[in-house]
Amino acid sequence: MSTSYSESISQIYRIRERAKNWTSGSIFITVTVASSKNNNLPLEIDLTETIGHNKRVPIADQRGDRNCYWLQSHINENSEEFRRKCINPLFASACWRAGFLIHAQYESKHKCIRFECNRSQHHSEERESQYFKNRERYVRDPSKPPVPRVWRKSSRPILGKEERWFLPLQQSGSRNHCGHIKEPPEHLRIQCHLAPTNEVQISSDALKAQVPISATSSLFHERTGMSLESHQLRYLQQKNLKKDL
């Protein structure tokens, strides 16, 4: 039985829409996570196994190897520049390999970094309906003081009082994506400040040495598997020129 052109197009559209709702597979991160708090040997972990448990962050005096992954001991600063150059790229690269891009938001009150998919704010009627269905309802009684609401966020990694970044083994958050399809990593353009800092510096040095933008782009892709577009490299080139003035 043959189908019409419009039916075929409608079927393709439905397939694409279904593909926009998916669950993250394994997101592996290596080198930066220590085997234990007192053992700095690198350990490969799957980030998705830590997400979706609806758990709070372990309190300070109960943190240990049984409930935390510790970042290596040299990752122990908490300045804006250090987070941007040394922490955010680690998680951005891992998620890029898994087929999506993230952004980082530092929460000074809790001394933690919250990572979210760049498309996390996409509206989904089905998801919103399920959220409000499961949401606890608060009925205000005029004769009583208002009841404070408890807000849960996925916060990782976190800086403890001992000035050591860590990941809870179990935390809140969601593995589900909505509103965009899973992309092959080579189709995703990562932002310069989320790319590996040392590789961006190598590209910047190449441009400073008058290496053409096309060759610098190929060099970056060969070394990282990631792609920087010409306008990103041109921006690095302009930054070098301003420094030389």
Handedness of CA 179, 181, 182, 183 (dihedral sign): negative
Instruction: Express each pLDDT in 5-26 by its tens digit.
Output: 788 888 888 887 777 777 777 7
DSSP one-letter code for 51: S
178: helix, coil or strand? Answer: coil
pTM of the model: 0.68
What are the distances in angstroms from CA 49 to CA 41, 88, 175, 180, 240? 21, 19, 9, 22, 42
Query: According to the model, what pLDDT value does residue 62 have?
Result: 86
Closest among 221, 222, 165 to 230, alpha carbons compared: 221
Average of per-residue pLDDT across 27-53: 80
**pLDDT 10s digits, 54-88:** 888 888 888 888 999 998 888 888 899 899 888 88
**Confidence category of residue 178, pLDDT binned at 50, 70, 90:** confident
| pLDDT-wise least confident of 89-98, 216-225, 235-244 | 235-244
Cβ(96)–Cβ(186) below 8 Å: no
Q: Report whether pLDDT(114) > 70.
A: yes
